[in-house]
Homo-oligomer: A and B are copies of this chain.
Amino acid sequence: MPKRKKRPARQWRRARPMNVIQDTVQPYNVLRENLARRDRSLREKVVTLEEAASFVNDGTTVGIGGSTMSRTPMALIWQLIRARKKKLSCSRCIISTDGDLLLASGVSDHIVSSWFAQGILWGLSKVMRHHIEGGHARYDEWSHMAIGMRFRAGAMGVPFMPMRSMLGSDVAKRRPETKEIDCPFTAEKLLLVPALNPDVALIHVQRCDAYGNAQIDGLQFMDIDLAMAANRVIMTTERIVSNDQIRRAPDQTKIPFFCVDAVVEVPFGSAPHECYGVYEPMLDHLEAYVKQVNSDPVGGMQKYLDDYVYGPKDWNGFLSKIGLDELVAASRRGRSIYDD
C-alpha cells in the first residue's frame, strides 16, 4: 500500500455554497461586454502550456471539452494541477479520470456533469465518492442533454433552452436552477434550463492554425457549443497547420479563430485518453491508475499526482512515464479508424 503523504490543506476545504456562478445566468449586457472586450482580430496566439494555464484564474468556472475518455484536454488539466490552481468550478458533459484529478489535486471543488466515474469498465470512482460523500466537493448532476442545452443556450446568447426530459425525475428536483413552465404555445409542460457560459473553456483538437481555426475529426461532443458559450477558450492541438490549409476547406473548420484566445501545440495532449483518429485510450495505464486510486482514494491518488503530474519535467516527461510501447500501440489503434 502506497505511503499516505500529507495532502495540501486546500484539498479539505468545504464545498462552496449553492449560488456559485455556474448556477446563475449571466445578464445579457455582461456577456456582451465581456465579449466586446476580447481581442477577436485575426492574430497568432500560440503560447506554451504554462502560459495557457496562467490564463485560468482561481475561483472561476471552467468548461471542459470532449467526453468521458475522448479528446479530454488532459495536458491543460495536468498543467492546471502543476500550477496549483484552486476552487475552479468545472463543467463537462461526462467526466472521467480528469474529474478524479481535478478533485484530488484541489484544483476543483465543484463539478457540473451528467456522469462521473472513471469509466464504465471500472465501476464507481472511489476518488469521486471520497470527495463528494465526504462533503469536500460538490457534484451537480444534470441530464446529458441538459448539459448540452445549457452550453447551447450559452452559445446562442439566450438565457435558457426549453427541453422535455428531466421532468418528473429527482434529477430535476435537485436542480432549483431549472424552471418548469407551461408552454405559452401548446400548454405542454416544459423544463427551461439556464445558459452556461463558462469563464474559460479548455478544448483539445486534432488540428488548428496559429489563429485558432480548428478542425475536429469524428466525435465532436459538445465542443462547438462550449467554445461559442465560453468567455475565453484555451485550445490545445495535436498539430498546428497553416492558415492556408484551413482556408482550402473552410467547411471543415468547426471552431472559428475569434472564439479562441490561446493555442498550444501538444502532441498526445489527451493522453492517457483518446484523440479520434490519432490514438485510442491507453488502457494499461488507466487500469493501473484505477487499481491504485480505488484501493486508496487519498494516498493512492496523491502518489499518482506526485509520480505523474508533479514529478515529470514536462508533458513529454509524463508521456515517457506512460511509456513508448503504450503510446505506439494506442496510436496504431487510433489510426485504424481510417483503415477501411
What size tier do the contact residues of chain A reach? 20 to 34
CA distance A78 to B65 in the complex (A): 46
Say whether B162 contacts A160, CB under 8 Å: yes
Evaluate whether A217 and B340 lie within 8 angstroms (CB atoms) in the complex, with A27-B188, A160-B185 already known.
no
- Please give me the residue from chain B that is nearest to A248 by CB atom: B340
Give the distance to chain B from A17, nearest Cβ to Cβ, in Å: 19
Give the distance to chain B from A61, nearest Cβ to Cβ, in Å: 17
Interface segment, A37-45, A176-184, A227-235?
A176-184
Say whether B192 contacts A185, CB under 8 Å: yes
- Please give me the residue from chain B that is nearest to A149 by CB atom: B156
Evaluate whether A25 and B185 lie within 8 angstroms (CB atoms) in the complex, with A157-B164, A251-B218 already known.
yes
List residues 192-224 of chain A with CB under 8 A from any CB of chain B. Answer: 192, 194-195, 217-220
Say whether B159 contacts A190, CB under 8 Å: yes
Decide if A247 is an interface residue (CB 8 Å cutoff): yes
CB-CB under 8 A from A47, the residues of chain B are none
Decide if A28 is an interface residue (CB 8 Å cutoff): yes
Q: Which of B160, B185, B220 contacts A183 (CB 8 A)?
A: B160
Say whether B186 contacts A184, CB under 8 Å: no
Give the distance to chain B from A35, nearest Cβ to Cβ, in Å: 14
Give the distance to chain B from A226, nearest Cβ to Cβ, in Å: 18
Decide if A319 is an interface residue (CB 8 Å cutoff): no
Decide if A21 is an interface residue (CB 8 Å cutoff): no
Q: Which of B158, B217, B218 contacts A162 (CB 8 A)?
A: B158
CB-CB under 8 A from A251, the residues of chain B are 217-220
Decide if A322 is an interface residue (CB 8 Å cutoff): no
CB-CB under 8 A from A157, the residues of chain B are 164
Say whether A192 contacts B184, CB under 8 Å: yes
CA distance A160 to B162 in the complex (A): 8
Decide if A163 is an interface residue (CB 8 Å cutoff): yes
CA distance A220 to B161 in the complex (A): 23
Give the distance to chain B from A199, nearest Cβ to Cβ, in Å: 18
CB-CB under 8 A from A183, the residues of chain B are 159-160
Contact flags A231-264 to B (C-beta < 8 A → 1, else 0)? 0000000000000100110010000000000000
CA distance A195 to B160 in the complex (A): 16
Q: Which of B159, B194, B248 contacts A188 (CB 8 A)?
A: B159
Say whether B217 contacts A164, CB under 8 Å: no
- Please give me the residue from chain B that is nearest to A277 by CB atom: B251
- Please give me the residue from chain B that is nearest to A179 by CB atom: B184
- Please give me the residue from chain B that is nearest to A157 by CB atom: B164
CB-CB under 8 A from A244, the residues of chain B are 340
CA distance A28 to B159 in the complex (A): 23
- Please give me the residue from chain B that is nearest to A177 by CB atom: B185
CB-CB under 8 A from A184, the residues of chain B are 160, 179, 181, 192
CA distance A186 to B177 in the complex (A): 12
CB-CB under 8 A from A188, the residues of chain B are 27-28, 159
- Please give me the residue from chain B that is nearest to A181 by CB atom: B184
Can you report 6 A-B residue pairs in the complex whose CB atoms are below 8 A from each other? Answer: A157-B164, A160-B183, A179-B184, A179-B185, A218-B251, A244-B340
Top-8 shortest CB links A-B: A25-B185, A159-B185, A158-B162, A159-B186, A159-B183, A179-B184, A218-B251, A248-B340
